[in-house]
Structure 1
Amino acid sequence: EARNGIYFIQRNYPIPGRSSVIYYRRGSAASRISVDDVDPDYIRQAKLFHLTGITPALSESCREASLKALEIASQSGVKISIDTNIRLGLWSKEKAKKTLIPMLKKANIVLIEPQDAEILFGKREPRKIAEEILSMGAETVAVKLGAEGAAAYTRSEEAKKPAFKVPIVDVIGAGDAFAAGFISSLMRGRSLEEALEIGNAAGALVVTVKGDFENMPSEEDLEKFLAAQRKETVILR
């Protein structure tokens, strides 16, 4: 009964090597998600519930649905991961801060970029960002650093991995790919360093083509890519 959301991408202009995105989501079908669409039983059977800052930004009903889903997951012992993913084209800095900080207090794993942390906490230095979020109750914090790679922190350890050098065609989707690689690695019991490396590898492969999901790598793709980087066989399973 409602239209699909749309976004338009402008690549390499006015800044070469960067893309800008224009959203057309107000009134879309996704923006009409409400608490009535949240299935408690479906969430309770999950190993992990993942949320990005985009969903609660779409509308008030989406924000309420996100809060309900987080509450169900938290009460059911389901691990929660949140990627702040603040898009100022969707909401204001004030609204993002008011909404996301309470949500982060329920998260086990948090992924964030320095520019998001500056909005939420007034901080940009990775370790200080992590300390802030760990003090809120999170177990693991990953700070995405773009071309510099990523850093990850727990209360007892920290790690940093540089980005892989690849020909960059389109950076859109790199963050989502990193999140998938990093979080899935942690869920499989891998170390912070391994999780960062796999997340960085996933992000690297995505930026080599246009689009944000066309080159989303499989495990086999990641194995081959990492093997080529290390000059040895890598098994992810």
Structure 2
Amino acid sequence: MVNQARTTEVATFGEVMTLFYPTTVDPLRFAHRFAKTVAGAESNVAVGLARLGHRVNYLTKLGDDEFGRFVHHFLRGEGVDTRHVTFHKTAPTGVFFKQRQPTGDPQILYYRNHSAASTLAPSDIPEEFIASARYLHLTGITPALSATAREATFTAAQMAREHGTTVVLDPNIRRKLWSAEEAQETLLRLAQWADIVLPGIDEGRLLTGRDSAEEMAAEFLNAGARLVVVKLGQDGAYYRTNDTAGTVPTHPVPTVVDPVGAGDAFAAGLLSGLLREQPLPDAVALATRVAARVIEWVGDVEGLPTWQDITEDNERITR
């Protein structure tokens, strides 16, 4: 059964949390002032797409608490459709802290056990949420939250297949949530439902056992994907379909401030390019540009650009 009434461009769901990070580059035990913001892999993608001018529908469960209301207001303010956001009476909204480092990746401390989002279940996924979207964006974080959240993820993927909604899978493996073996088994099964797969190079090695981006992409294509884009970090991104392949260089970044959230920004940029029907190399190049902007800022969403930002960048480049 294929639903042709696509009122939403992208639907996504998962856990969104309140993020705190110190205003100074200090160990958390010495930090006294914190900035408060919102972050979560799928919500980062939702905000990124909304800023780029797209209709995006986000589903989650928040705690019926002050942090839940803060997150909800933030997402609505960014233009994300939150009609499928619900509030749990007893489970809390997840919280995490980011310890900024003088160099290298920040350290992350999560407080998400038994959070409201971890109670997501198949019954929380309305068919209309999937059927009305052109793309369904999934990550490997949601199925790692709990057994019911895992079932919900597979239910959503199956619904998408039934309604002709294109499934996008970003493995986004979080080793603090599950073992490598459990992640591999689950995500390889989930990849069989995906039309587009977006692994990082290390994730691709874990999932496929292959060393090169070309071999990784071939594995996912053989499993049924139509497009694979392997994120290569400083080396850009490798894309492959059954008909074409290529590498797009990374977009230059003057100063890397915070790399967390770059993969989510990449997914938002790629989906924006595909929705705008750009040629595939251009869509991948847009993904690298959006990701590059994010890592120049502290926080997962602060650096996400608007489409006007992208347009102005284009104008400066062509002058």
TM-score by length of 2: 0.69
Q: Which runs of 5+ in 1 are unaligned?
A: 233-237
Tell me which protein shows more strand as a share of its residues. Answer: 2
- 1:51 equivalent in structure 2: 138
Note if contact 1:23-1:89 (Cα within 8 Å) is conserved in structure 2.
Answer: no
Give CA deviations for 1:175-221 in whole Å, capped at 9, x if unaligned.
11110011221233211210111001101111111000012111111
Amino acid in the other structure paired with 2:256: I
| Counterparts of 1:11 and 1:122, CA distance in 2 | 33
Query: Which whole-Å CA distance do the structure 2 matches of 1:75 and 1:222 have between them?
Result: 35
3-state SS, counterpart of residue 109 of structure 2: strand
Amino acid at match of 1:94: E
Specify whether residues 226 and 87 from structure 1 end up closer, same or farther in structure 2 by C-alpha distance, changes over 3 A only: farther
**How far apart are 1:109 and its partner, in Å?**
0.8
Structure 1 segment 1-237 matched on structure 2, within 5 A: 1-12=90-101, 16-166=103-253, 167-228=255-316, 230-232=317-319
| Deviating more after overlay: 4-13 vs 204-213 | 4-13
User: Is the 1:22–1:89 Cα contact (8 Å) retained in structure 2?
Assistant: no
* 1:165 Cα deviation from its structure 2 partner: 1.7
Unaligned 5+ segments in structure 2 are 1-89
Task: Give the whole-Å Cα distance in 2 for the aligned partners of 1:127 and 1:196.
Answer: 16
Corresponding residue of 1:235: none
Q: Identity of counterpart residues, as a percentage? A: 38
- Rounded to whole Å, the distance in 2 between the matches of 1:224 and 1:159 is 27
Q: CA RMSD in A?
A: 1.3
Cα displacement (A) at 1:231: 2.6
What CA deviation, in whole Å up to 9, does each residue of 1:61-109 have, x standing for no partner?
A: 1000001111101111111101000010111111111111111111111
One-letter amino acid matched to 1:180? A
Q: Give the TM-score of the pair, scaled to structure 1.
A: 0.92
Query: How far apart, CA to CA, are the structure 2 residues paired with 1:210 and 1:185?
Result: 25
1:11 positional shift: 2.5
Q: Deviations over 1:119-167 (max 9, x none)?
A: 1111231111100001111111010111221111111111211112222
Tell me, in whole angstroms, the C-alpha distance in 2 between the residues paired with 1:134 and 1:20.
Answer: 34
Letter of the 2:122 counterpart: V
Q: Which residue of 1 aligns with 2:84?
A: none
Query: For residue 265 of structure 2, what is the amino acid of its counterpart?
Result: A
